[in-house]
Every structure is written in structure tokens, then in C-alpha cells.
Structure 1
């Protein structure tokens, strides 16, 4: 296989898994681009990205610009005459002048079946929407978000118990393997580009902590999806006496009972049964402030006064 000069751009754990696979397969990585270190704590300690950790461990050259709209970065990359840029969850938009530097173009690994779920939260959005499958799409980057030509695509079934964490793990393994397979085919010039159908495009948004608040006045199916989609972050939650109670596991209970959304209908070792706009939601695993996650069957005696039948949750 032709030895190509690669610039890798990424930041989080998902990205680091792909970088590590390229290193293991001995691809020629000239530079790794990752976001600047984050400061935390009173001493303003620096927190490295997962990609930086892998980069340092393997003694690769690293760049951490605050933006790619920089002559210094452009000139540095230009002098190296790289062939390809591989972008995986980097967090910065790649400017057009940078894209044009690469003879083989810039490619991006995206965790959805494009053109569906473009944007920053494709995995969570797939679970929230209730679609039966997602996957990995490798695209040629252009100057618009996730809209470049499709180079390679593979689907993955979403199981009814999948959370954001479990689905992301599966997609990480699929993505790293698909990337290596793709590069071998691409370098042999056997890839056919497919334009995305714009009329079929859907978009996702940045997810915030406040998005995790449970609205009992929606149907139980949507609440259960939210609990899985936001596990582990930002988590789904409700309030009791201004305390955040996180919900980690729940189940939809088909029921003809119609009462005030948020009202507790039953509380036993199997869970807390709460009214929603349609059907009941059975809360199975909760987390109280300062405590570990726990099944209702293990905490039923400790918190029975908080979950009396007839109580309405916020």
C-alpha cells in the first residue's frame, strides 16, 4: 500500500481510538492536531485531551492551535506537503484553505448514516428519534458541516437497551476498523464518491445539561429514550426538594391509566411507576446527590417517604 503523509485531527476518546489504530497499523502521521489543554482546579492545572495522551505516548509531533484560521498553521502544514487529513471529532471547523492543502483531500469519520443526523450529537439523536439503525459514514470534507461526498458507509443496528455509552463504544470499534479498510481501498483508487441528497438531510444540536430534565408531560417512550440517550452525559433527571435525582434505567409500561403527569401510581421493589402523557414509566435505577447509582429494590426502605403513592414529581 502506498505510504501517504497524514495529518490527524481529533480530541476526544472516540477520536483517540482511531488515532491509536492508525499508529498500530504504522501509517505515516506527520502531525496530530488537537484542541488546546483545558484548565481546571484552583491551581489551574491542565487537562490533556485523550488524543494528546495517545500522541505523547507515541512521541508524535503535536499542534494545539486555538483556531485553524492562522497563517502560521497554514504555512507549517504547507511546507510538509501532506497527502491527506483525517478528522475524527476534532471540534473545530476546517477552513477551505486548509482543506485545499491535501492532494488526497480531507476525510471525516461521522457517527451516523449521512445525510441523517448531521452535526454535533448524532448518536444521542439517533436514540432519541427511535430509529432502528445508525452507523459510520466516511465523507470528503467540504466547506459545509457534514455535507461532503460519501466515500464509505456501514450500518449498525440499535438495540432497545442501547445507551449513548454502549452505542458509542460499538461505533468506536466499527469506525477504527472501517477507517483502515477504507484507506486500503481508497489508495487503490477503488472508491466511488456519492453525493448526499440534501432533501433527506436532518440536523442535530449541541446538547446541554438542562436538556436532561425530564418532562413528565411527554409520553413514556420518549422519556425512556432520553434516559438512554443521555447516559452517561448529561444524564436525565428530576427534582425532589431542589435536589437533582438522576435516572439511569427505566422501562415503558403500557397502561390505560390517565392521571396527572409526574404522579406516582405505585412504588415497590420493581420500581417507581410514574404517570406520563401516555403510558407509565417504571424508574428502575436512580442516583441521589452524593450517592452511587442504585436499583430501586436496594433503596426502597431508605427513600420510601420521598416516593409515596400520589406524590407528584417535578
Structure 2
């Protein structure tokens, strides 16, 4: 089979696994684009993206431009003479001039069944919304976000226990396989394109760290979905006695306690911490206290039971 010269654009772990697949394939990854390095912690330590680490380990040239419209950068990209650009969770909008630079265009691997959940957080949005299925869409890129023609899609079921972390792994497994199939079709010129139906389009919003503070004025079912959607980041939490307590596992108790306040701890036992919500009860089973590891609530209660007094109202 013919070998394609590929420029890969990506940043996060989801991207990195697709890059690994391409490196292990018969194709040639000739360059990589990734977002500029980030800074973390009080010491402002420089953090390389997962994609950058893989690129360095495989001696692949990497570009991290602040400005994709920079003419010098674009000239360098053009002179690589790649056949195609593949974009997976890159995090920057790619200008039309770059999209038109390659004989086989640019394709994007997106973690939803487009046009549902266009945008920055498709995996989280599918869990937040209580969707029963999602999938991978591979599309031709155009100059607007996630609106291009669909050239391949595959469905994946969402379980009632899936977190963003576990669902991402499912989608990586089917996405990497689908990517290689699409590249083979591109070589054989057997791609079938399908326009997206704008009437079915929904947009996923960017998730911020502040979104992880739980709002007890929501239903228990909504809170439980939010907890799963925000694992591994930003991880839901509540504030109790000036401590930010992260929640790693919870379930809904289908009882409606109207004689308790919203956000009130109504029970605390070996099964968890039961908190009254707008509708039904949220039972918190795994938590993480500041500076400590993730623990089952029953183990935390042996030394911290006074922290979770029945009748306490969490704002």
C-alpha cells in the first residue's frame, strides 16, 4: 500500500494515542503540531503535552506556534510537502490557508457522532446529557468548527458507569482503527462524503475548573452525571469547613426527602455520605480530602466522621 506523508496536529492524551497508531503504521509522520508548552504549579514548571513527548521520543520535528497565521511558519509547513494533515484534539483553529495546503486536505477525528456535540468537550457533553451512545466522526476540515463533510463514523455505547476517562479509552480504541481505514480509502480514492444535517447540530461548551463546584440545586441524577463527566478533570468538589473535597464516585438514591434542606447531609454511614438535592438524594462513595489520596467514604469516616455531621448544609 502507498505510504502517506502526514503532518499531525494534536495536544492531549486522546491525540497522543492516535499519533502512536500512525507512527506504528506504514505511513510516515513527517512533522507534528502541538500547542505551546503550558506552565503548572506555584513554581510555574514547564509541562510538555503528551503529543510533544511522543514526537521527541520518535525524533519527529515539532512545531508549537502561537500564531498559525504567521507567514514564516506557514512557509515551513508548505515546504515539508506532506500529503495530508490529520487533526485530533489540537486546541487551535486552523486557518483556511493551511487547510488548503495539502493534496489530500485536512481531516479531523472528533469524539462524537457529528453534528451532535461539535466543539471543545464532546465526550463530557455526551455524559452530562445522559446520552446512551456516542462515537467517532472523521470529517473533512473546513474553515468553521466541526462542520465539514463526514467521511467515516462509528458508534460506541455509553454505560451508566462511564467517566470521561473510561469513555475516552473506548473511543481511542475505535478511533485509531477507523483512522487507518480512512487513510486506506483516501489512497484508493474510495471516500464517500456525507454532509452534516445542521438541524441536528448541538454545541459542546468549553469546560473550566470553576464548573467543578457542585450545585446542590440540581437533581441528584444531574450531579451524578457531572461527577462522571468531570473525571479525570476538573473533578467535582464541594466546600465543607473551608476544605475542597473532591468526589470520585457517587450514585443516586431514588428517594425524595422534602423535609430536608437542599444541600443538607441527611445521613453518613458505611455506604456513603447522603446529601439532599433538588430532587432525590446523592450518595457519595469515594472522596479525596486536600493533600490526600482517593478513598472510600467508609475508610475516611474512621478518622473524619465529625467533618460530615448530619444536618450540616453544604452551600
- Superposed, 1:1-314 pairs within 5 Å as 1-40=1-40, 45-258=45-258, 259-314=260-315
Secondary structure of 1:20's match?
Answer: helix
Following TM superposition, by how much is the alpha carbon of 1:241 offset from its aligned partner in structure 2, in angstroms? 1.5
- 1:301 Cα shift? 2.8
Instruction: Please state whether the residue corresponding to 1:250 is helix, strand or coil.
Output: strand
Cα contact 1:67–1:92 (8 A) shared by 2: no
> Please, what is the CA RMSD of the aligned residues?
1.4
> Following TM superposition, by how much is the alpha carbon of 1:43 offset from its aligned partner in structure 2, in angstroms?
6.8
Change beyond 3 A, Cα 1:189–1:235: same
State the Cα deviation string for residues 210-230 of structure 1 (Å, max 9, x = none).
101111111100000001001
Deviation, 1:187, is: 1.7
The secondary structure found in structure 1 opposite 2:119 is coil
SS in 1 for 2:144: coil
| 1:88–1:109 contact (8 Å) kept in structure 2 | yes
Q: Note the C-alpha offset of 1:242.
A: 1.6
Structure 2 segments unaligned to the other structure (5+ residues):
none
Using the size of structure 1 for normalisation, the TM-score is: 0.96
Question: How far, CA to CA, are the matches of 1:152 and 1:262 in structure 2?
Answer: 45
Q: How many residues align?
A: 314
Please give the per-residue CA displacement for 1:197-248, whole angstroms capped at 9, x wherever unaligned: 1111100111111101111111100000001001121111111122101111
For residue 249 of structure 1, give the secondary structure of its aligned residue in structure 2: strand
Deviates more, 1:159-168 or 1:2-11: 2-11
Q: Distance in 2 between matches of 1:76 and 1:216?
A: 52
3-state DSSP of counterpart to 2:237 = strand
8 Å CA contact 1:286–1:296 kept in 2: the answer is yes
Deviates more, 1:124-133 or 1:295-304: 295-304
TM-score (norm 2): 0.96
